[in-house]
Amino acid sequence: MIVLGIESSCDETGVAIYDTDKGLVTHTLYTQMALHAEYGGVVPELASRDHIRKLTPLIQQTLKQANLDQSNLNGIAYTAGPGLIGALLAGASVARSMAFALNIPAVGVHHMEGHLLAPMLEQQQPQFPFICLLVSGGHSMIIRVDGIGRYKLLGDTLDDAAGEAFDKTAKLLGLGYPGGPKVSNLALQGNPDRYKFPRPMIDRPGLDMSFSGLKTYTLNTWNQAKKDNDATEQTKADICRAFEMAVADTLRIKCKRALEQENLNRLVVSGGVSANREIRYQLDKLMQQRKGEAFYPRLEFCTDNGAMIAYAGAQRLLAGQSQDLNFATTPRWSLEELPAV
């Protein structure tokens, strides 16, 4: 079965073709990052318009790259939520119209299920069951995964998502958008012993997380440095380092707790923040100590992409799940509501 995948939930237009016999065939991505950078964050209406402009050319380019024609497609998968309503509608209407014209099934995919299953696009696939740490721009969740569509939410963030905390910290320090890669790169030059940031919620039982306090801690530390006439690039780097270590440490402690609680030894880490070097280092160390395994998507599939949507949609289409023409998008959508495959 050859499936076209379309992602348009936020500021990336992603298109991919997944073959259920041969794996990922090809994918393309257009990022709107530059468009939104001058506003310091995503402007929803600009995002929708840009998806509309880019979707058709990207789909044509993707088919060409794969040496395929529309008539070779057996199904279409598109992101149906959660995300920005206008951006979702742009992708959904193109996907549904194509499926109608070609008389093939279409399936609306949960964006976070796409992220969660992204490591399945790699050679070394994790076996079920496993613990998934899903850390992205809008979510920070710890999930027990027993199969596709069999998700149990064990922990969530009480305030900011991990990626949001990186983005806000970067903004405070004047590093620009999106913040994750910028904070992480500057942290490389930071002194790990200069500041010690708190590890939020680790002395409380449970698997919930909280990251908004770290952002305040960054602000206070930076303001103090300004008062002390020490607002240098080195100080910025030292703050980035302390911030990143605090996030990584917190995630490691929460993952350890989840694995112990569920008596599992496989960890899947996905979403944009799973690209982070320090976080991967800490979680690899944890899994080595436990003699377990850690799985991640390749770097380009940590953030939004069409490949993860094509993969997740293909699994559901294989299981006979698709939706009729009266499509809907779902800007807010819980993972636990999904049907099992």
* Pair 169, 282: CB distance under 8 Å: no
Is 11 one of the binding residues for Mg ion (CB under 5 A)?
A: yes
- By CB under 6 A, which span of 197-205, 228-236, 273-281, 326-334 interacts with ligand ATP? 273-281
Of the candidates 44, 181, 213, 292, which one interacts with ligand ATP according to CB under 6 A?
181
Contacts of 325 (CB under 8 A, 6+ apart): 96, 100
Q: Is 115 annotated as a binding residue?
A: yes
By CB under 6 A, the count of residues binding ligand ATP is 24
Residue 134 annotated as part of some ligand binding site = yes
Judged by DSSP in three states, 267 sits in: strand
Q: Is 306 in the site for ligand ATP (CB under 6 A)?
A: no
How far, in Å, CA of 115 to CA of 272, rounded? 9
Q: For residues 293 and 279, what is the distance between their CA atoms, to the nearest angstrom?
A: 15
| DSSP codes, 301-330 | GTSS-HHHHHHHHHHHHHTT--B-SS----
Least distance to ligand ATP, CB of residue 265, Å: 25
CA-based nearest residue to 300, from 32, 109, 29: 29
324 annotated as a binding-site residue: no
7 binds Mg ion (CB under 5 A): no
Residue among 70, 131, 141 nearest 110 (CA): 141
Using rule CB under 5 A, residue 164 touches Mg ion: no
* Residue 126 contact, options Mg ion, Fe ion, ligand ATP, none, Cβ 5-8 Å cut-off depending on partner type: none
User: Rounded to whole angstroms, how far apart are CA atoms 114 and 110?
Assistant: 6
Asked if 276 touches ligand ATP (CB under 6 A), the answer is yes
Residues 252-291, mask of contacts with Fe ion (x by CB under 5 A): ----------------------------------------
Partnered with residue 106 across adjacent β-strands are 76, 323
Chain centroid, CA 75 distance in Å: 24
Beta bridge partners of residue 5, listed in sequence order: 16, 77
139 is in an annotated binding site: no
Q: Which structure tokens are listed for 239?
A: 């703050």
- Find the binding residues for Fe ion in span 123-182 (CB under 5 A): 136
Residues of this chain that interact with ligand ATP (CB under 6 A) are 9-10, 83, 111, 115, 136-139, 163, 166-167, 178-181, 184, 271-273, 275-276, 303-304
Residues of this chain that interact with Mg ion (CB under 5 A) are 10-12, 304
Detail the residues annotated as belonging to a binding site for substrate: 134-138, 167, 180, 276
Residues of this chain that interact with Fe ion (CB under 5 A) are 136, 304
Detail the residues annotated as belonging to a binding site for Fe cation: 111, 115, 304
